Structure 1
Amino acid sequence: MTGDVRGTGDGRERRNTEIVLTAMRELFHEKDLTALDRYWAEPYTQHSPRMASGLAMLRAAVPTLVGFSWEARRTAAQGDLVFTHSLVHGWGPGPVVIVDVFRLEGGRIVEHWDVVQDHVPAAETASGNPMV
């Protein structure tokens, strides 16, 4: 995972961003399900239309992800929210670009939103600009 870690305000935003990046690396890249115990907390509220709330959903989904990679290209934080703009492989049939929004409480992820788009190479976009 690479990217620019940004936060405005106090050190809490930087700590929250580091927590999210570490949590996502350990859970999704290292497939370490104990990361859920360290970085997430119940009740875990999920706003993604394809995923149920609760950590049981993540515990069941992570082992089934084959060839999954999550590469955060940009991050930002505001208060208890951390935003990531990422290129993801293995979530669908082709690469996707995802903007994730995580809400933390007491240093743990307790809520998540996302926006998912199929990745289009820069040469194929109307503007010629990359998506991530």
Structure 2
Amino acid sequence: MTGNTAADQAQGNTEIVLTAMRELFKEKDITALDRYWAEPYVQHSPQMPNGLDTLRAVVPTLEGFSWEPRRIAAQGDLVFTHSIVHGWAPKPVVIVDIFRLDNGRIVEHWDVIQDLTFPDATVSGNPMV
């Protein structure tokens, strides 16, 4: 029963998400949507509609975009990333993305976004990521 455990699924899904995000956002390869995402794509982000058309339209227009994952966790069909993102909003933001995969494709997405606050401006003095 090797190669089919929950840990194997989580590892495989993590690799898919990292590759998908790199190809789409860093390399701006829109065809990554055809390889790593699938319709119906359910979007829970309050600023984005369901489906992949918005990503197809927005990604080529992003300037100075960078996605810097700092923490990644996976459980079953879910992959969680905790990242610093530049170029999505006017100022750098910290985003927790949650991706759900089905048959090796990203089919659902949630996110939580906060403006990046540097450690010297936090009450605790700790970094956000």
Give the shorter-chain TM-score range.
over 0.9
The 5-angstrom pairing of residues 1-132 of structure 1 reads 9-132=6-129
Larger of the two Rg values belongs to structure: 2
CA displacement at 1:93 relative to structure 2: 1.0
Distance in 2 (alpha carbons) for counterparts of 1:9 and 1:15: 10
Taking only aligned residues, the RMSD between alpha carbons, in angstroms, comes to: 1.0
Distance in 2 (alpha carbons) for counterparts of 1:16 and 1:10: 10
Partner SS state of residue 129, structure 1: coil
CA displacement at 1:64 relative to structure 2: 1.1
Runs of 5+ consecutive residues of structure 1 not aligned to the other structure: 1-7
Please tell me the residue identity of whatever aligns with 2:36.
Y
TM-score (norm 1): 0.93
Distance in 2 (alpha carbons) for counterparts of 1:122 and 1:109: 33
Please tell me the residue identity of whatever aligns with 1:69.
S
**Could you report, residue by residue, the CA deviation over 1:29-76 in whole angstroms, capped at 9, with x for unpaired residues?**
000000000000000000000011101111001011110000000000
CA displacement at 1:10 relative to structure 2: 2.3
**Could you report, residue by residue, the CA deviation over 1:70-113 in whole angstroms, capped at 9, with x for unpaired residues?**
00000000110000000000011110000000000000000000
Distance in 1 (alpha carbons) for counterparts of 2:53 and 2:91: 26
TM-score (norm 2): 0.95
Distance in 2 (alpha carbons) for counterparts of 1:60 and 1:44: 15
Runs of 5+ consecutive residues of structure 2 not aligned to the other structure: none
**Count of aligned positions:** 125
Identical columns (%): 74
Runs of 4+ more than 3 Å apart: none
